[in-house]
Amino acid sequence: MSGVQPRIYMASLGEILEGRATDIYFVRTRRVAEKYGVGGKRVRMEVHAYSLPRGYEWAVYAGLEEALALLQGKPVTVYSLPEGTVFERKDPLMVVEGRFQDIILFETALLGLLRFSTSIATKAARVRLAAGRGKTVLFFGLRALHPAVQPAADRAALVGGLDGVSGVLSREYLGVEPRGTMPHALIIVFGSQVEAWRAFAETFKEETPVIALVDTFWDEREEALMAARELGEVLAGVRLDTPSSRRGRMRDIVEEVRWALDIHGYKHVKIFVSGGLDEERVAELRDVADGFGVGTTIAAAPNIDISMDVVEVHEDGEWRPRTKRGKLPGARSIVLCQGEKRIVRLGEEPEGCEPLTRKYLEEGRLAQSLPSLEEIRSYVLKQLENLGLQ
């Protein structure tokens, strides 16, 4: 059969690492630079976010591990904040040092990696803060994304402090056991809530907590009681995924279900809420719900506008600050002096201060070991203790 054959449109790992996943103007820029003898100039290019989404005062830096994987083996040196660092507008996140022609083809991919993960991690952290301590928050947003980026999205959500993710590939890529409940489709195919709950419990009660979805056919309160009576102690919780037509009453629904379960002796049954949640709705429900499944608002998070600019050029044996208007010239780093953050010129860090910006690659070779995903998550959670949503 002639005509277009279906395919999945995704760049291969080889194309990304070779610098082919880039914008055409960078290809042309490199050709011009090489042709006129400036491609070999050493430069320092700084990565930063000069603006944050409306209402954001901070963001969570994520995607460093992938960025290092992109640049490893190339003749560049990379200085960066640790992954998971909470940063503010204009803070220097990373400095890439090397010949201009060796860096420029990778700017598109580098920024894409950092923006994608930082945006998701930041939104996840905001939801984590809104939920408060002791509440479970899971990421259910993969259906809002291209499947090629599922592991990266799950990783970013965990970096942001969430408790779990639903992606099956997270087991292989992240060493994390995926978490989830059951879809409406299972109940609809069975044609009976009770039969579906019973079948799920019999199949998985030894592997995972049994959470029954209780808003498919009937009133949430009635379905919750049906599930509790049918499954008893096996039932760990119920999930409310109430459609948008009733979302205005979600708090009333949760309170009603909680009351009904309690007075009938099912205080052990926890209530999980999902469906169109963001940090504001989570904050409204955190005192009545035990956990949340948050998807699209994290997957399609407001973009953290990370950019990359030449800020220094090496000429006549010295680094000369030079950049475009509206940006600060000179490569910068962050240090902590008696616990206070200070931004200084790279290479001029004062004695007695703790350098937060560190060298991660030296001429393409890894310069220090990287933390585990759980260590990064713990680092983020520690910082969130001193932050608010404004």
For the chain, what is the radius of gyration of the CA atoms?
A: 25
Residue 8, domain member (yes or no) = no
What whole-number distance in Å separates Cα of residue 345 and Cα of residue 337? 15
Q: Are strands 340-345 and 86-87 parallel, antiparallel or unpaired?
A: unpaired
C-alpha pair distances (Å), 36 with each of 105, 376, 378: 17, 44, 49
Of 299, 320, 355, the domain-final residue: 299
Q: Please check whether residues 290 and 322 belong to one and the same domain.
A: no
Residue 361, domain member (yes or no) = yes
Angle of helix 373-384 versus helix 107-131 axis, rounded to 10? 60
Q: Please check whether residues 290 and 211 belong to one and the same domain.
A: yes
Q: Please check whether residues 113 and 34 belong to one and the same domain.
A: yes
Q: Please check whether residues 206 and 307 belong to one and the same domain.
A: no
What is the phi/psi pair of residue 115, to 5°?
Answer: -65, -45
Q: Please check whether residues 291 and 337 belong to one and the same domain.
A: no
Residue 3, domain member (yes or no) = no
What whole-number distance in Å separates Cα of residue 362 and Cα of residue 312? 18
> Within a 10 A sphere around the Cβ of 168, how many other Cβ atoms?
12
Of 255, 275, 299, the domain-final residue: 299
Q: Please check whether residues 150 and 295 belong to one and the same domain.
A: yes
Q: Please check whether residues 185 and 43 belong to one and the same domain.
A: no
Of 299, 324, 342, the domain-final residue: 299
Residue 126, domain member (yes or no) = no
C-alpha pair distances (Å), 42 with each of 61, 68, 70, 314, 319: 26, 19, 19, 5, 9
Residue 237, domain member (yes or no) = yes
Q: Please check whether residues 114 and 136 belong to one and the same domain.
A: no
Q: Please check whether residues 115 and 155 belong to one and the same domain.
A: no
List, as one string, the DSSP characters of 210-244.
Answer: EEEE--SSS-HHHHHHHHHHHHGGGEEEEEE---G
Helix/strand number for the chain, H first, E second:
14, 18
Q: Domain containing 325: what range?
A: 13-120+303-384
Q: Please check whether residues 283 and 313 belong to one and the same domain.
A: no
Cβ atoms of residues 71 and 110 within 8 Å: yes
Residue 5, domain member (yes or no) = no
Q: Which distant-in-sequence residues (6+ apart) come within 8 Å of 210 by Cβ?
A: 197, 200, 201, 204, 231, 234, 235, 236, 237
Q: Looking at the 3D structure of the chain, how many domains does it have?
A: 2
Residue 1, domain member (yes or no) = no
Q: Please check whether residues 28 and 111 belong to one and the same domain.
A: yes
CATH code of the domain containing 347: 3.20.140.10
> Per residue of the chain (390 residues), what is the pLDDT tens digit?
778 999 999 999 999 999 999 999 999 999 999 999 999 999 999 999 999 999 999 999 999 999 999 999 999 999 999 999 999 999 999 999 999 999 999 999 999 999 999 999 999 999 999 999 899 999 999 999 999 999 999 999 999 999 999 999 999 999 999 999 999 999 999 999 999 999 999 999 899 999 999 999 888 999 999 999 999 999 999 999 975 555 458 899 999 999 999 999 999 999 999 999 999 999 999 999 999 999 999 999 999 999 999 999 999 999 999 999 999 999 999 999 988 999 999 999 999 999 999 999 999 999 999 999 999 999 999 999 999 876
SS3 204: helix
Q: Please check whether residues 192 and 280 belong to one and the same domain.
A: yes
